[in-house]
Amino acid sequence: MSGVLILEDGTCFPGKVFGYMGKNQGEVVFNTGMTGYQEVLTDPSYYGQIVIMTYPLIGNYGINIDDKESLKSHVRGFVVREKSMFYENYRASESLEEFLASHKIVGLEGVDTRALTRHLRNKGTMRGIITTAYDMGKTDFEEFSRNQVQMVTTDKILKYPNPGGKKLAVLDLGLKQSILKGLLSKNFAVDVYPAWTTIEELEKANPDGIFLSNGPGDPKDAKNAIEIVKYFLGKKPICGICLGHQIISLALGADTYKMKFGHRGLNQPVKDLRSNRVFITSQNHGYAVKEESLGSDLYVSHRNLNDNTVEGVSHKTLPVLSVQYHPEAAPGPADSMYLFDDFYKLIEGVKNA
């Protein structure tokens, strides 16, 4: 069935609808990864977005249970150049099209994704409507939700015991399963808390450290998480990834801004300024920390070598560690898993001081 992606500047990109036959809208973003479409579709950080995959052929290895980053998809639409007609993988349990249909995600194939991506790079990220030709109707654009974290967080405390491991309180702002697996593999005992958890609840739990996950939306909207970080600064070692990194920076007095089109892919070069080593990283974010807003007690620990944006912040005296990219990858290279080790050592240092 014929369909179209309509951008809020009036530009239209025609194609053929697959997956769910309907209409949806969201923020239109692009991902440059050659693989990893399943992880993209199930990453809560993509809540409310229409995702364009720049690699021309998508769907050839199907969908499997093991690689899902959450129980459901939060993507609003999925745009590809060519959808593979067949999939082949011994772990696959369903096709990409079957997954989109069951999660009510409108897919659009046959789109000139190169032209679409260049348009967004030139004009910046914008809202869009993806629809079938028979369901176009009104094309009024809704305002972006300001409560995105609350839509993807857990609704109850989840406990993952690890005898002898450091007790870690993870604030779920849109937690990926790969982060949880990565922390457990580093001998942490993990308790996952909803985003609305109170300071009193965390204080009563008395964890060895606090970890803030990735997640969707503007970090300035996550006011409860910012207050939690402010309260525990200097009291507990704190680590954050992606949205968690931005929230930690805000709590420390820095500022954030919305990027023109963000970083979404698995080939972003980042330099660890502490070791002068360069790592290829997996990223998914549309906001960044303003370097000029960092106070004298903070320093940039990691930097993106493509555009020099801040990729990590540390504190000169307090046990704080945060990075903008995803050390757990999924999809992408796992070169930076050492950061989970660094946080474990940071907690041990505080406990032994």
> What does the pLDDT read at residue 284?
96
Map out the domains of the chain with their CATH numbers: 2-135 (3.50.30.20), 148-352 (3.40.50.880)
Angle, CA of 288, 238 and 351, to the nearest 5°: 155
pLDDT value at 136 more than 70: no
pLDDT value at 98 more than 90: yes
DSSP run (H or E) holding 149: helix 148-152
Distance, CA of 198 to CA of 196 (rounded, Å): 6
Looking up tokens 């972006």 gives 144
User: What is the mean predicted confidence (pLDDT) over 212-223?
Assistant: 97
pLDDT value at 323 more than 70: yes
Across 92-96, 240-244, 330-334, least confident range: 330-334
User: What is the mean predicted confidence (pLDDT) over 36-65?
Assistant: 97
Which letter does DSSP use for residue 196 in this model? T
- With pLDDT > 90 as the criterion, what percentage of the chain qualifies? 91
Across 86-90, 144-148, 216-220, least confident range: 144-148
- With pLDDT > 70 as the criterion, what percentage of the chain qualifies? 98
> What does the pLDDT read at residue 334?
86
Across 134-148, 189-203, 212-226, least confident range: 134-148
> What does the pLDDT read at residue 138?
62
> What does the pLDDT read at residue 188?
96
> What does the pLDDT read at residue 146?
78
pLDDT tier at 134 (50, 70, 90 boundaries)? low
Compute CA 345 distance to the chain's CA centroid, rounded to the nearest angstrom: 25
Residue 285 backbone dihedrals phi, psi, to 5 degrees: -155, 150
Q: What is the mean pLDDT of the chain?
A: 95
- pTM across the whole model: 0.95
Distance, CA of 64 to CA of 259 (rounded, Å): 33
The residues, any chain, with a CB within 8 Å of residue 187's CB and separated by 6 or more, are 162, 164, 165, 166, 344
Q: Which residues are catalytic?
A: 242, 326, 328
User: What is the mean predicted confidence (pLDDT) over 178-206?
Assistant: 97
